[in-house]
Structure 1
Amino acid sequence: MSTWRFDAIGTRWEIDTVEPLSIEQRARVAAVISGFDATWSRFRADSLVSRLSVSGGSVETPADAAAMLDAYRELSDATAGAVNPLIGESLNALGYDAAYSFSAHEPAPAPGDWQSVLNWDEERLVLASAALIDVGALGKGRLVDLVTAALDDHDGGLVVDASGDLTVRGDSRVGLEHPFDPSKAIGIATIRDQALCASATNRRAWGDGLHHVLDARTGVPARTWAATWAFASDAMRADAIATALFFDGGPALAEQWGVEWVRMSTAGIAERSPDAPVELFMRKD
Structure 2
Amino acid sequence: MAHTGWSVFSFDGIGTTWEISTPEQLPEEVRAGLLGVVEDYDRSYSRFRDDSLVAPLAREPGTVTLPAGAGELERLFKKLYRLSDGTMTPLIGGSLEHLGYGADYALRPLGHPVPAPRWEDALVWNGTEISASVPVVLDIGAAGKGQLVDLLASVLRGAGTTEFLVDASGDMLHSGAEPLGVGLEHPYDPTQAIGVVELHDGALCASAANRRAWGDGLHHVLDGATGRPVETVVATWTMATTAMEADALATALFMVDPKVLEREFEFSWLMVYSDGHAAYSAGFEGTLFS
Q: Following the alignment from structure 1 to structure 2, what is the Cα–Cα distance between the partners of residues 132 and 189? A: 36
Deviations 1:91-133 (A, max 9, x none): 001110000000012211001x213422122463212221110
Q: Following the alignment from structure 2 to structure 1, what is the Cα–Cα distance between the partners of residues 23 and 128? A: 41
Q: Which residue does 1:146 correspond to in 2?
A: 151
- Aligned residues with identical type, % of pairs: 45
Contact 1:118 1:125 in 2 (8 A): yes
Q: In the alignment, residue 229 of structure 2 is paired with which amino acid? A: P
Alignment of 1:39-188 (within 5 A): 39-105=44-110, 106-111=112-117, 113-122=118-127, 124-152=129-157, 153-170=159-176, 171-188=179-196
Contact 1:82 1:215 in 2 (8 A): yes
Contact 2:70 2:127 in 1 (8 A): no
Q: Which residue does 2:3 correspond to in 1?
A: none
* Partner secondary structure for residue 83 of structure 1: coil
In structure 2, the CA distance between the partners of 1:74 and 1:81, relative to structure 1 (3 Å rule), is same
Q: Following the alignment from structure 1 to structure 2, what is the Cα–Cα distance between the partners of residues 188 and 48? A: 39
Q: Which residue does 1:234 correspond to in 2?
A: 242
Q: Which residue does 2:270 correspond to in 1?
A: 262
* Partner secondary structure for residue 193 of structure 2: strand
User: RMSD value over aligned CA atoms?
Assistant: 1.3
* Partner secondary structure for residue 260 of structure 2: helix
Contact 1:157 1:169 in 2 (8 A): yes
Unpaired segments ≥5 residues, structure 1: none
2:274 equivalent to 1:274: no
Q: Which residue does 1:9 correspond to in 2?
A: 14
71-80 or 113-122: bigger deviation: 113-122
Q: In the alignment, residue 150 of structure 1 is paired with which amino acid? A: V
Divergent runs of 4+, >4 A: none
Q: Following the alignment from structure 2 to structure 1, what is the Cα–Cα distance between the partners of residues 15 and 161? A: 29
Q: Which residue does 1:246 correspond to in 2?
A: 254
Q: In the alignment, residue 31 of structure 2 is paired with which amino acid? A: R
TM-score w.r.t. length of structure 1: 0.95
CA displacement at 1:60 relative to structure 2:
2.7
Unpaired segments ≥5 residues, structure 2: 1-5
